[in-house]
Amino acid sequence: MLPLQGADQFAELLQPEVNLGVGDELGDRDARVDLLAQIDGSRVHTVGSKHEGIELRFDGAGHRIDFAALVGRSVWLYPQHEALKDLIAARLAAGQDLRFGVTVSGVEDIDTDRPRVIATDAEGAAITIEADFVVGADGSRSSIRTAITGPHGGAFREYPFAWFGILCEAPPSADELIYSNSPDGFALISQRSPQVQRMYFQCDPNDDPNALSEAEIWDTLQKRVPGHELTEGPIFQRDVLRFRSFVAHELRRGRAAIVGDAAHTVPPTGAKGMNLAVADVILLARALDALLNSGDATVIDGWADAARERIWKAQHFSWWMTQMLHINPTDSDFDRRRQLGELRTIVDSEAGRAYLAEAYTGWPLGAV
């Protein structure tokens, strides 16, 4: 959804639904925040909230990771659906041809200079879009990915736990996010706005989100953050978020590429989902500018490798945060004690805290 000057036809296929769950945190002093802030009508600095650290909580005590002091950066908590509103409004205001309610069945001729998107519109009528380049930003069930990867798919991992998430009407329970490791499992005390809060606790992937009463939910959350009193309020949304990691083996073929959840998914523990998607698009926009406006294919030829380096760094960080903070149902007493030792190693070491702060706030984009 970035403007691309000079492109005759540019087809970007968007995921039809946006995950209203985790509010991703975007690194400050970073091209991703700069990009969103430069969009006409952007609300990242008004609706979003700036955070200069997080709290790691274990053994009943909190330990602040001070991003500003450690790496000179901060993060902006900005929900995905709010960012999408800004992007859609900006592109509509610029007169871009956005099609809503379109169902894509596939893409053809991607190895030529005029790939075609095959789809049906909201009324069920068949449509074909011929483009200079096709970008599949159509989510984890991408219809474009198969055309790019073929039968090879990608690298996949599923985790033996999930998050039970709620939205509630209440003021924040803490100034910054709390990542809590307790003997009963993980909890994340997050935020959505001054009036609405988002919180999660570790659960079984097959749990029914409607099986617990509000009192039971609050009891579970409070038990997971011992020593910190939560501010309770009416719960108006609840869901179970499964944990998966995935990276497509191929990100681009010919005149088609995939970005965001179509290309990769990460556990939400590291707040890397929207960060990676925005980084994909920034790097891809540079490559497409060179290809379509200057006839230079060198940058697009290197785009997938450049994107993949960042993707796997984010995959590692997300996995690392997940395994360090969650209780695996197969863990032994040794595993539990080793996990606490890992947490203690991080909070007791300036180098350990700095690594977490650097990875959490995001790596520089650099050149493709």
In our burial notation (b when 16+ CB lie closer than 10 A, e otherwise), range 170-200 reads bebbbebbbbbbbeebbbbbbbbbeebbbbb
Is 272 a residue of the active site?
yes
Smallest CA-to-CA distance from 7 within 279, 290, 303, 277 is with 290
Which of these is catalytic: 51, 228, 264, 326?
Answer: 51
Smallest CA-to-CA distance from 317 within 259, 360, 262 is with 360
Which of these is catalytic: 79, 115, 179, 326?
Answer: 179
C-beta neighbour count of 132 within 10 angstroms: 18
Is 268 a residue of the active site?
yes
Using CB atoms within 10 Å of the CB of residue 274, give its burial: 0 to 12 exposed, 13 to 18 middle, 19+ buried. buried
Alpha-carbon distances of 258 from 19, 87, 103, 134, 280, rounded to whole Å: 18, 18, 17, 9, 9
Joined together, the tokens standing for residue 87 give: 């992007």
- Kind of pairing, strands 25-27 and 75-77? antiparallel
Which of these is catalytic: 78, 79, 264, 360?
Answer: 360
Radius of gyration of the chain (CA): 21
Which of these is catalytic: 115, 200, 267, 272?
Answer: 272
Distance CA 156, CA 356 (A): 24
- Kind of pairing, strands 61-66 and 53-58? antiparallel
Which of these is catalytic: 79, 115, 172, 268?
Answer: 268
Distance CA 171, CA 54 (A): 18
Q: Is-contact 228 178, C-beta < 8 A?
A: yes
Is 360 a residue of the active site?
yes
Q: Which residues are catalytic?
A: 51, 179, 268, 272, 360
